[in-house]
């Protein structure tokens, strides 16, 4: 029998910014401690602030240190990817979040997930 790795799915709604970071950080930390990989659904994000971007990087770093990874899915609002690209986090805007963890500049990814 194969040893299936547990995965937590987090779906983020609204603005990923200062108002939501504390609660989301707790959710990420709990998921990293208690389960395996984390899958984040980004379809319902209406805006992203620097604090939200920092949260994603910090959570990914914490997950990578624990041998886990964070992946994404969903269709991203063009305003979000334009903002990420203009801030230097992406080389160019994208629509599908599935490759976001591979395309964000310097995003922590465990070796086996690269």
| Extents of the domains making up the chain | 7-104
- Residues 40 and 10: their CA atoms lie apart, in Å, by 5
pLDDT grade for 1, boundaries at 50, 70 and 90: very low
Does residue 24 register a pLDDT over 70?
A: yes
Q: What is the pLDDT of residue 101?
A: 87
Pick the CATH number of 7-104 from 1.10.357.10, 3.30.70.20, 3.30.750.24, 3.30.1280.10: 3.30.750.24
Q: Helix crossing, 50-65 with 18-34: angle to 10°?
A: 10
Please, which residues have CB within 8 angstroms of residue 22's CB and are 6 or more apart in sequence? none
Q: What is the pLDDT of residue 109?
A: 76
Q: What is the pLDDT of residue 112?
A: 56
Beta bridge partners of 6: none
Residues of the chain above pLDDT 90, percent = 73
Residue reference for tokens 């659904």: 41
Does residue 54 register a pLDDT over 50?
A: yes
Mean pLDDT of 60-86: 92
Angle at CA of residue 55, ends 51 and 59, nearest 5° = 170
């Amino acid at each position: 029998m194969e040893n299936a790795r547990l995965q937590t799915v987090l779906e983020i709604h609204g603005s990923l910014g200062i108002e939501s970071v504390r609660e989301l950080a707790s959710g990420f930390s709990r998921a990293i401690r208690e389960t395996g990989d984390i899958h984040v659904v980004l379809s319902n994000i209406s805006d992203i602030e620097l604090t939200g971007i920092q949260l994603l990087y910090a959570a990914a770093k914490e997950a990578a240190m624990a041998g886990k990874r964070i992946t994404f899915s969903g269709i991203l609002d063009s305003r979000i990817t334009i903002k990420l690209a203009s801030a230097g986090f992406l080389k160019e805007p994208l629509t599908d979040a599935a490759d976001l963890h591979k395309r964000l500049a310097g995003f922590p990814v465990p070796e086996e997930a690269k």
